[in-house]
A and B are shown apart, each in its own frame.
Chain A
Amino acid sequence: MKPVEPEIETEHAGEFVAELRRVADALPERINVDAKSVEQGLAKLVLTLIELIRRLLEKQAIRRMEGEGLTPEQVEELGLALMKLEAKMRELKGQFGLEDEDLNLDLGPIGRLI
């Protein structure tokens, strides 16, 4: 049988190869089910949920700041609290070897979390 041969047309092959390689590298070849990966999987799940809530809180804080219902001191306090939360999340992600993209969620019509 003679296969149908696909043709590839682009004037920017190098850039597409680099971008596609980046996408491919992000995909695991397979997922191991062992004690360590289960622990990391659980951490990933919990941190993803915290990240979702953290981002909602940030958006809510910005809306309140734009609504001018807060005093400058309250804005500052809110900002500092969210800043510390972000720092804590960064620390936890580091401990479990997770990157931002690991905590991504597809939220359907409203897009992806990160």
Chain B
Amino acid sequence: MSRWYVYCLGDEVTAEMVEGARGLDGAPLSLVGRGDISAVVSAFAEERVPVTPENALTHNRVNAALLARSTPLPFRFGTLVAEARLLDFIESHEAALREALARVRGAVEMSVKIIWDLEAVKREAVGPEPEASKAEGEEAAEGATATSEATSEAGGSGTAFLLAKRREILSGEALREKAEALAGWFGGRLSDLAREARVVVNPKGALVVRAAHLVGRGQVEEFRARVHQLGEERAGSLRFLTSGPWPPYSFGDVRP
């Protein structure tokens, strides 16, 4: 059964916009739709779409080209679907798709990523890790001899193990609180420029915040300048990466 590779869908997309344009493996783009909602597709013969830089860039190039003249809802990379199923999806999800299209209309996605100094934040949160406790936490389970003060009081490696675990849990909780406070500060300073935000916080990693913002096209430069300003305010402790404008990849979630 032949299937289409699907890039995006929209209610402003016209055949003229995709005329002469090519997608994965150089296949010509065409439209498949119901009423004024059309999906941008190209023929794809294989069972699966190889995850290669070339294919990922082509997926984005098609969506970015559509973004220049409309606001499409992008599909997830690698979506292959039979025409009948795609049409059925559009028909049965029409109300939700219209709502999603209205939400993103006139906007683009701006991505911001933040790296923090994880080791410094850990030290600040719970103080430097005592050598003995570190050794017990890591090695007690393998039968290492416990040597901490607490151990000598209580007398064994089981107690040392629990004390090390207690410290580990407290450190995890403190990190989570700090990461959420950071995300709150950052989100609050951008809230007037973003219609919506999707924020992923990872307190245990150096890449602590990954955020996607839905920003009106007219406010992209202001958004960029604001993030730059935030970066300067926290230049000693945080590192920022801003990218965009992208098609609203994080705000569509369309899956047939």
Chain A residues within 8 Å of B, Cβ to Cβ: 1-13, 15-16, 19-20, 22-23, 29-30, 58-59, 61-62, 65-66, 72, 75-84, 86-87, 90, 111
Contacts and interface: CB of A to CB of B under 8 A. Distances in A.
Given A30-B48, A62-B169, A82 B65 contact: no
A9 B224 contact: yes
A36 B240 CA distance: 42
Contact of A3 (B68, B154, B240): B68
Contact of A6 (B64, B69, B142, B153): B64
Q: Give the top 8 A-B pairs by smallest Cβ distance, nearest first.
A: A79-B158, A80-B158, A3-B64, A1-B65, A10-B241, A19-B207, A79-B162, A3-B65
A87 B141 contact: yes
A5 B241 contact: no
Contacts of B155: 72, 76
Given A22-B207, A87-B142, 16 more contacts: A1-B65, A7-B224, A9-B228, A10-B239, A10-B242, A15-B239, A16-B115, A61-B162, A72-B155, A76-B154, A76-B158, A79-B156, A80-B157, A81-B158, A82-B158, A83-B157
Nearest to A62: B166
B178 interface: no
Give the residue among A4, A81, A82 with the most B Cβ atoms within 10 A: A4
A22 B115 CA distance: 13
Interface stretch (B30-38, B82-90, B243-251): B243-251
A83 B223 CA distance: 50
A8 B227 CA distance: 12
B207 A20 contact: yes
Nearest to A65: B162
The dominant DSSP class at the B interface is helix
B120 interface: no
Given A9-B242, A16-B241, A3 B61 contact: yes
Give the residue among B68, B153, B165, B228 with the most A Cβ atoms within 10 A: B165
B108 interface: yes
B245 A58 contact: no
Category for how many chain B residues contact A: 35 or more
A22 B205 CA distance: 10
28 contacts: A1-B68, A4-B65, A4-B67, A4-B68, A6-B64, A7-B243, A15-B115, A15-B239, A16-B207, A19-B115, A19-B205, A19-B206, A19-B207, A20-B113, A22-B207, A62-B166, A62-B169, A72-B154, A72-B159, A78-B158, A79-B158, A79-B159, A79-B161, A80-B157, A80-B161, A81-B158, A82-B158, A83-B158
Given A72-B155, A78-B158, A78-B162, A9 B64 contact: no
Contact of B162 (A7, A13, A22, A82): A82
B181 interface: no
Nearest to B140: A83
B248 to A, nearest CB: 12
B161 A82 contact: yes
A28 B34 CA distance: 35
B211 interface: no
Nearest to B67: A4
Contact of A79 (B67, B113, B157, B205): B157
B28 to A, nearest CB: 13
B101 interface: no
A23 B205 CA distance: 10
B160 interface: yes
Interface in B118-157: 140-142, 153-157
